[in-house]
Chains A and B, each alone.
Chain A
């Protein structure tokens, strides 16, 4: 009889019709470290959010058993009380509060008068900070004075302060240096020995293979396989992570490449919130007319930062860009658009669309100069004609162009953003996760539009976390790993497994064929 500390049985979760988890069953033994593997969007984080009560009982099907007893969590604090602690990818802490305050947020020790006992708070904080190797950090300093990796360790200390039975770590080492990561895994081993179970989500396969007891592979919201880490093969696991029928799912059309349109020479881009450190360095590549150029790397590899620098939304700290041979200095998005660069951003709701405006109004936002007369008054006929053209061309599904974009589906919203960019006559179109969160039919339509665009002579830079999409649609790939460019390779030269190995740092371009 297995000693299961946690069982999640037949979990199914839908997001407005899209199946995020499909009948997933997960059993976890006491004191083990279980790694959940899968591509972005495989459902790992969703599963963990169900466990944490972020998605409350009732919003999904299936049941959760803790040490054999059925539990229903209405919110995250109930799950915490049951000994489940989460460390999310995005830090959930308050910069303006002190380290000690953050550690015990929500359950500060109080004395008999109901006043917070700061002395005890700091003393307890000391203990947990020491546990994660932050003995040099004063509990009374504000969180914002710590660097990202120290903040990550504070988050872990915070989770430990809850005395968890189960500790969930979602990409815990993303912001940590190698040494800090090793230190963290040493802590995890110690916790295991004390009987605490760890659930680990990480893209870094080398770490997962070095430090977990058991592996579970997820794909498209389903449980694919289970391995003992000792006996698991890296290649086999990677194939399971990405494996799926391709066929004509990606309707890539070969277009003869034209001359060089855009060039990046030895570019470096700093972290958005820490200008003194570069997130990517030594990036050089060329994009030709008629080409789809893929940026390949994991989340946090600097892909988005790189394209935002090209678009003038972020500064770049070194190197130079060239457009059709002329030096190009992106100062702000306005200048970028004037230079014929269009960006479809990663998160259309955050910075792609104005939800309160209708389709037509959103389409015009980047090309108002062209559609208005000298007084800035819209030329109604021209406006309707131009918008109507893209409305038809992109096959936006809506009653008419007067529909507010916030009521549209994700795929149609994406098309509106694309239409807005196209209306400004770009030469180079940057698509950051163009198919994120949209259904398969709409994805296929976006691919067809991309084909059509490159056939018309546009150049496209595409970022995607979906490996198959990136490999199938691109002509060339820029590989980004560990903040460095591994170089540009033809997209068909490597298999998905190989690309995955490269961007996770499991091997290098030199030794990939030897393995």
Chain B
């Protein structure tokens, strides 16, 4: 009797845990709790606002990356786009261009890079990994040529206000990220673009047979990703009041890791924007907690790396379960009957 009850509880818990978003929300909450217990400063208003701000800047890029990865692609050039867009917007600002055109310039540069990425990938059939790796180096190179290693500043107040304005004590990027979260989730689930992205990533041949314009969809995901990266780069410049050529270094890995931790599968076809948000949060909270606990930076890298691998292992196991869903259901019964047989014997 007791065993039966336990089983029911376990299966209920199992069911909840099987929801991809919930299963990563739990570790996030545990992480926050541990950090808060070890250092009460973690829950201070300023630390929360700061952490959320950083999460938002990552998350804005990760939204686009989620679409790209769901469609079966990958974009390694986002970090360089953050740098180039932030820097060229900064250059425009210091040479007297008003805020709005300068921001639009940064976004347009991002869109152009995304379009080139996508166009190369669909026209020549070159793997996204290679194409965007090349683009990452090229864009980074352009930034270094433009900047010769020097940051640009100061910016007009109107531009700085973009990321520095506070509502209810929280910086503006948090609210922008919230709006984007809602729009992106809705787009993924309720529009023909979102459904096409999932179809292309889930089964490209079937999507083609269904009459979906695969090339267009793929190019759009890269444009979207690069534009959001550009937006994040502009916010970063506004937040710090300066555009540095080193901005965005290593972002691509953080962002991809966040998307994977968030439950979007690297092989495409399915994923979740909310999951990606939680993934970004896990990485940033972990970073923040380790800083607060003054853990060595090198150790931080080791922990993040381990978590990425863990997330992929979980993803793989979940996928295997999905594929053999029917078989797995039958197994517990077998075990039970075997157990009963043993009892009888």
Contact = CB atoms under 8 A, between A and B. Distances in A.
A351 B270 CA distance: 18
Contacts of A138: none
Interface string B308-345: 00000000000000110110000000000000000000
Interface residues of B, number: 26
A378 B211 contact: no
Interface string A392-433: 000000000000001100000000000010001000000000
A10 to B, nearest CB: 27
B202 A313 contact: no
A333 B209 contact: yes
Interface stretch (A185-193, A363-371, A434-442, A489-497): A363-371
B195 to A, nearest CB: 6
Interface stretch (A46-54, A100-108, A353-361): A353-361
B226 interface: no
Nearest to A345: B209
B107 to A, nearest CB: 20
A376 B193 contact: yes
A355 B192 contact: no
A353 B192 contact: no
A371 B202 CA distance: 21
Contact of B209 (A313, A357, A376, A377): A313
Given A364-B195, A368-B192, A369-B192, A351 B211 contact: no
Contact of B210 (A338, A355, A365): A365
A372 B193 CA distance: 10
A326 interface: no
Which of A333, A356, A371 has the most B CB atoms < 10 Å from its CB?
A356
Nearest to A335: B211
B190 A420 contact: no
A184 interface: no
A343 interface: yes
A369 B195 CA distance: 12
Contact of B191 (A332, A333, A352, A378): A378
| Interface bracket on A | 35 or more
A356 B202 contact: yes
A350 B205 CA distance: 7
A354 B269 contact: yes
B198 interface: yes
A365 B198 CA distance: 11
B191 A357 contact: no
A336 B205 CA distance: 15
B206 A377 contact: no
Given A356-B269, A365-B195, A368-B196, A333 B190 contact: no
Contacts of B143: none
B195 A361 contact: yes
Given A378-B190, A407-B325, A352 B209 contact: yes
Contacts of B205: 350-351
B211 A424 contact: yes
Nearest to B199: A354
B273 to A, nearest CB: 16
A230 to B, nearest CB: 48
Which of B207, B212, B213, B270 has the most A CB atoms < 10 Å from its CB?
B212
B208 interface: yes
B198 A356 contact: yes
A375 interface: yes
A223 interface: no
Contacts of A368: 192, 195-196, 212
B203 interface: yes
Nearest to B323: A406
A99 interface: no
Given A350-B206, A361-B199, A366-B211, 13 more contacts: A332-B208, A333-B210, A334-B211, A336-B211, A351-B205, A351-B206, A352-B206, A356-B198, A365-B210, A369-B192, A372-B192, A376-B193, A406-B323
Interface of A: 311, 313, 332-334, 336-338, 343, 345, 350-357, 361, 364-366, 368-369, 371-372, 375-378, 380, 406-407, 420, 424
11 contacts: A333-B208, A351-B209, A354-B199, A355-B203, A357-B199, A364-B195, A368-B195, A372-B191, A376-B193, A407-B326, A424-B211
Interface of B: 186, 190-193, 195-196, 198-199, 202-203, 205-213, 269-270, 322-323, 325-326
